[in-house]
């Protein structure tokens, strides 16, 4: 389960319905061109927190059907609705997903005891493994090394997707948990995280920039830091341009430029203006 995982985008049509043909094209592009080791399905990048339970299941089903066993699959099932999270955990496990992941429960200020109960309830309901999805800038949930340690006492909890810029905490986690899987979550900090010894990375920009991400990660592992840094610089020029123009919408427009029917984002995310579509197209020309 080590390596690079794309946080999979989902193609929606202009009315916000899942475009199955487009989703399958995005999946194939990730396997054939980005050549990632796996897909992280129904994360933030999949616009998971704006869709229904049935739609989440449909995306899990289509993705597994398209991938078969060609790459590893992680199903993000986390939800403030714990019953939904358990239902999705069972569904994805039955489909044959290699691991589950769940975002820390958000919106209400759950205390640690509640968070721990949430993770153990999900993973103990199924015969599968759990990767904690920690993304404090969106959830407001910050956990300490000691709290991660308490969660990791459950052997079915095998790792964490660490989407934060706190490299002190990341180093402490690597030191404390040499046998757990740590995935870097911010693509713009991939090199720094790789130097600290993460096992892999999960990223939205890998939908278009998988090849450069691979180079950064592997060069870092070989100790070729100066070379890796040059590729991180280009990658971050790209990421800065994408973030300035609207993250998920721009990634979808770039995919369209590459012939992939990536569709639109789900409302309330807005459509890009014609001007911004033009900028997205120029980004696609500039970096490829
Ligand atoms: C919220 C979100 O999309 N996070 C992604 C994964 O953690 C990242 O891949 C970022 O999108 C990316 O690093 C750009 O900031
Ligand atoms: C990678 C990431 O944050 C996500 O899509 O869940």
Q: Which residues line ligand 1 (CB under 6 A)?
A: 7, 44-45, 163, 185-188, 202-205, 239, 247
Average pLDDT over residues 141-155: 98
Ligand nearest to the CA of 131: 2
Alpha carbon distance 30, 134 (integer Å):
24
- According to the annotation, is 227 in a ligand binding site? no
- According to the annotation, is 185 in a ligand binding site? yes
DSSP string, 174-208: HHH-TTSEEEE--GGGHHHHHHTT-SEEEESTHHH
Banded model confidence at residue 269, pLDDT cuts 50, 70, 90: very high
Alpha carbon distance 269, 207 (integer Å):
19
Kindly give the pairing relationship between strand 130-134 and strand 3-7.
unpaired
Determine the angle formed by the axes of helices 167-176 and 145-152, rounding to 10 degrees.
Answer: 40
Average pLDDT over residues 149-171: 98
What 3-state class would DSSP assign to 39?
strand
Ligand 2 center to 45 CA (angstroms): 5
pLDDT tens for each residue of 171-197: 999 999 999 999 999 999 999 999 999
Kindly give the pairing relationship between strand 181-184 and strand 38-41.
unpaired
Mutate to test the pocket of ligand 2, among 5, 51, 204, 209 (most ligand atoms within 8 A of CB): 204
pTM (whole model) above 0.90: yes
Alpha carbon distance 15, 245 (integer Å):
22
Ligand 1 center to 262 CA (angstroms): 18
- According to the annotation, is 144 in a ligand binding site? no
- Say what the pLDDT of residue 120 is: 98
pLDDT tens for each residue of 190-232: 999 999 999 999 999 999 999 999 999 999 999 999 999 999 9
Please report the ipTM that was assigned to this predicted complex: 0.93
pLDDT tens for each residue of 62-116: 999 999 999 999 999 999 999 999 999 999 999 999 999 999 999 999 999 999 9
Judge if the beta carbon of residue 6 lies within 6 A of ligand 2: no
Ligand 2 center to 44 CA (angstroms): 4
For tokens 């800038």, what's the residue? 137
Q: Does domain 3-224 have CATH number 3.20.20.70?
A: yes
Q: Domain segments of the chain: what residues?
A: 3-224
Banded model confidence at residue 8, pLDDT cuts 50, 70, 90: very high
β strands within 53-107, DSSP E: 72-76, 99-103
Atom number, ligand 1, closest to the C-alpha of residue 204? 9
């Amino acid at each position: 389960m080590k390596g690079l995982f794309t946080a999979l985008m989902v193609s929606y049509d202009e009315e916000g319905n899942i475009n199955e043909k487009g989703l399958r094209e995005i999946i194939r592009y990730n396997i054939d061109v980005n050549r990632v080791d796996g897909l992280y399905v129904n994360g933030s990048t999949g616009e998971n927190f704006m869709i229904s339970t049935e739609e989440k299941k449909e995306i899990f089903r289509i993705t597994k059907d398209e991938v078969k066993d060609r790459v590893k699959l992680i199903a993000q099932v986390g939800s403030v609705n714990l019953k939904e999270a358990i239902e999705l955990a069972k569904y994805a496990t039955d489909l044959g997903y290699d691991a589950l992941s769940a975002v820390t429960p958000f919106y209400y200020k759950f205390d640690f005891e509640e968070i721990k109960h949430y993770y153990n309830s999900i993973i103990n309901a199924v015969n599968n493994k759990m990767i904690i999805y920690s993304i404090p800038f969106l959830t407001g949930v910050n956990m300490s090394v000691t709290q991660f340690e308490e969660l990791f006492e459950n052997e079915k909890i095998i790792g964490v997707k660490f989407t934060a810029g706190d490299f002190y905490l990341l180093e402490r986690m690597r030191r404390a948990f040499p046998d757990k899987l740590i995935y870097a979550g911010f693509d713009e900090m991939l090199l720094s995280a790789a130097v600290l010894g993460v096992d892999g990375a999960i990223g939205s920009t890998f939908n278009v920039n998988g090849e450069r991400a691979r180079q950064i990660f592997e060069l870092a592992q070989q100790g070729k830091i100066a070379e890796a840094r040059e590729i991180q610089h280009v990658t971050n020029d790209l990421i800065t341009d994408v973030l300035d123009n609207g993250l998920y919408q721009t990634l979808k427009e770039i995919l369209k430029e590459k012939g992939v029917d990536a569709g639109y984002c789900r409302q309330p995310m807005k459509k890009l203006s014609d001007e911004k579509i033009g900028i997205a197209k120029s980004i696609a020309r500039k970096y490829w």
